[in-house]
């Protein structure tokens, strides 16, 4: 089951991120950058700001246990462009197509909201890059984002054209 999350439920998103990120990024980021980015993206203050800026969080559940989440925004940048900011599933649940289900929900929501394109950023060394290519995303550009404290996100910006 996938459903929208209330702000009060984002504590679980924080908890899940702290379980998922060390596994997902262990070969990509230093421990210091990992800690910095988790605080930068998942502190209560940061999550409040994201929600205030229109980020919508959804959780995916196995029975009653939340095992993943996504964050999507509409009309981000150009009108008609949605951005998938986050999509994560606990490592123990990989291979069950839960990430695919979350992505499909994001695509469905984008279409329902009149979006023509869905974009995302993925670290150039993240295995998820292959997943996004497989489901139809293409590389729009390669970009290094300065996130402060001397750290950069070295990402592909990928896009999927939507048939609305």
Find the CATH number of the domain harbouring 118.
3.40.630.30
The DSSP code sequence of 7-71 is: GGGHHHHHHHHHHHHHHHTTTTS-HHHHHHHHHHHHSHHHHHHHHHTT-EEEEEEETTEEEEEEE
Give the pLDDT confidence of 77-112 residue by residue, as tens digits: 778 999 999 999 999 999 999 999 999 999 999 999
Count of the separate structural domains present in the chain: 1
pTM: 0.93
Q: Is the pLDDT of residue 164 over 70?
A: no
Structural domain that includes position 32: 2-161
**Which is it for strands 65-73 and 56-62: parallel, antiparallel or unpaired?**
antiparallel
Q: How far is 15 from 67, CA to CA, in rounded Å?
A: 11
Across all residues in the chain, what is the average pLDDT?
95
């Amino acid at each position: 089951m996938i459903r929208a999350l209330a702000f009060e439920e984002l504590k679980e998103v924080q908890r899940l991120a702290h379980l998922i990120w060390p596994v997902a990024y262990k070969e990509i980021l230093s421990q210091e950058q990992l800690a910095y980015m988790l605080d930068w993206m998942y502190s209560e203050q940061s999550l409040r700001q994201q929600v205030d800026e229109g980020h919508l969080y959804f959780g995916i559940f196995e029975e009653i246990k939340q095992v993943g989440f996504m964050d999507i925004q509409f009309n981000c940048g150009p009108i008609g462009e949605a951005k998938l900011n986050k999509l994560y599933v606990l490592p123990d649940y990989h291979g069950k197509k839960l990430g695919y289900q979350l992505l499909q929900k994001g695509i469905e929501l984008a279409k329902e909201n009149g979006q023509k394109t869905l974009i995302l950023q993925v670290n150039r060394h993240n295995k998820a890059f292959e997943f996004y290519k497989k489901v139809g995303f293409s590389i729009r550009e390669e970009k290094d984002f300065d996130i402060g404290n001397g750290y950069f996100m070295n990402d592909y910006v990928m896009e999927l054209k939507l048939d609305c």
